[in-house]
Amino acid sequence: MKTFYAEEQKHHNPKGFLSSGAPQPNPEKPERVERLLAGARAAGSSIHRPRNHGLAPIAAVHTPEYIEFLENIYRRWQLIPGASQEVIPNIHPINRSGSYPASAVGQAGYHMADTSCPISAETWESACWSAWTAVEAAESVMQGEPAAYALCRPPGHHAFADVAGGFCFINNSAVAAQRLRMGADRVAILDVDLHHGNGTQGVFYKRADVLTVSIHADPVRFYPFFWGYADERGEGAGLGYNYNLPLQRKSGDDVFLEALQSACKRIEAFAPQALVVALGLDAFEGDPFGGLLVSTAGFGRIAEAIASLHLPTVIVQEGGYLCDELGDNLTAFLTGFGSAA
Ligand SMILES: [Zn+2]
């Protein structure tokens, strides 16, 4: 299986975020890329650079005002006397259907869900290349590759059509799914990241052509708190096309694989022509977030179960943070996928 990745994705280097109100180093570090590249190589994957695909595939998922915000907010922020180095919001609208402010501070609050997605001079460039990596992987699958791995960084699944959040700016999995839709009537997205894929759910919530399925730690006591419950099933034409499988904290391989069976059943019933796997590796038992207890071998079993759907598959990297086994977990997933495909 080919891996897609561009060096520019490493330039984004967020300094901090708030955890339970306390300033902490941001865990979404560029070093993640080195570990993941090593993991992909160990699985026998070759690394390929994506092309610049322009704004069209990003604009197919995100609003014009949000794209303009992401592209320009760092420069605008520097004009504010006494402002922080990185763009970090400090006020949010209770009602998002109200007015749209002209102020950079107001727009930061409007377009950023939390403090964990600071924007620096390099963020927009890295986020675009991350999205183009997803597009390139989608195109290679559309041209007949059975599967491709997009080493996307920064990640994407917490980004809504017009809101960043949780280390995410452009929703790479949604961009890949939308690109696949150009050659497929129905596309499914299966999100196995530790955290609920709230942005992806939000993008497709009212649509029946893209099924969104997410397995994650129960948000009742875990980020993103306000989304990811089992009763969120879609809306309007999309009713029944969103499927959430929240798991109790500290669940291990067997519980995860049981939920995955239900997820695969739902995907088979939908009969998509292509699949996007939003691959977070932070459900790992040794991940710093410590929400679930999936083992390294468990990622291999998860991959085998997904591969047995026998769908053209784009694997998009989401979370998974620095720990000794980060690369091994990717190797286990890609190897497991290849052995069962
Ligand atoms: Zn995550």
Is 53 one of the catalytic residues?
Answer: no
Indicate the domain borders of the chain: 2-7+25-51+121-340
**Is the overall model pTM greater than 0.85, yes or no?**
yes
Ligand 1 center from residue 166 Cα (angstroms)? 8
Q: Which of 158, 195, 196, 216 is catalytic?
A: 158
SS (H, E, C) 116-128: CCCECCCHHHHHH
Hey, what are 86's tokens? 């990185």
Alpha-carbon gap, residue 127 to 58, rounded angstroms? 10
What's the pLDDT score for residue 115? 96
Ligand 1 geometric centre to CA of 64 (Å): 26
Measure the CA–CA gap between 168 and 317, rounded to whole angstroms.
Answer: 12
Report how far residue 165's alpha carbon sits from residue 211's, in angstroms, rounded to the nearest whole number.
22
Residues near ion ligand 1 (CB < 5 Å) are 193-195, 280, 282, 319
Ligand 1 centroid distance, CA of 341 (Å): 26
Cα within 13 Å of Cα(202), Cβ side: 21
Tell me what pLDDT residue 6 has. Answer: 98
Q: How far is the CA of 33 from the centre of ligand 1 (A)?
A: 15
C-alpha of residue 114 to centroid of ligand 1, in Å: 14
What pLDDT sits at residue 98?
86
pLDDT for residue 7? 98
Three-state DSSP at 325 gives coil
Token pair belonging to 90 = 């400090």
- The Cα-based distances of 77 to 11, 108, 189, 205 in angstroms read 19, 9, 35, 32
How many angstroms separate the alpha carbon of residue 164 from the centre of ligand 1? 14
Per-residue pLDDT in tens (0 to 9) along the chain, 341 residues:
999 999 999 999 999 999 999 999 999 999 999 999 999 999 999 999 999 999 999 999 999 999 999 999 999 999 999 999 999 999 999 988 889 999 999 999 999 999 999 999 999 999 999 999 999 999 999 999 999 999 999 999 999 999 999 999 999 999 999 999 999 999 999 999 999 999 999 999 999 999 999 999 999 999 999 999 999 999 999 999 999 999 999 999 999 999 999 999 999 999 999 999 999 999 999 999 999 999 999 999 999 999 999 999 999 999 999 999 999 999 999 999 998 87
pLDDT of residue 65: 97
CATH class of the domain at 2-7+25-51+121-340: alpha beta
The pLDDT assigned to 28 comes to: 98
Q: Closest by alpha carbon to 274, among 197, 341, 211, 202? A: 211
Instruction: Please check whether residue 324 is in contact with residue 289, taking contact to mean a CB–CB distance below 8 angstroms.
Output: no
pLDDT of residue 340: 81
CA distance 145 to 170: 25
For the purposes of burial, counting CB atoms within 10 Å of the CB of 285, is it exposed (0-12), middle (13-18) or buried (19 or more)?
A: middle
pLDDT of residue 122: 98
Distance between Cα 283 and ligand 1 center (Å): 8
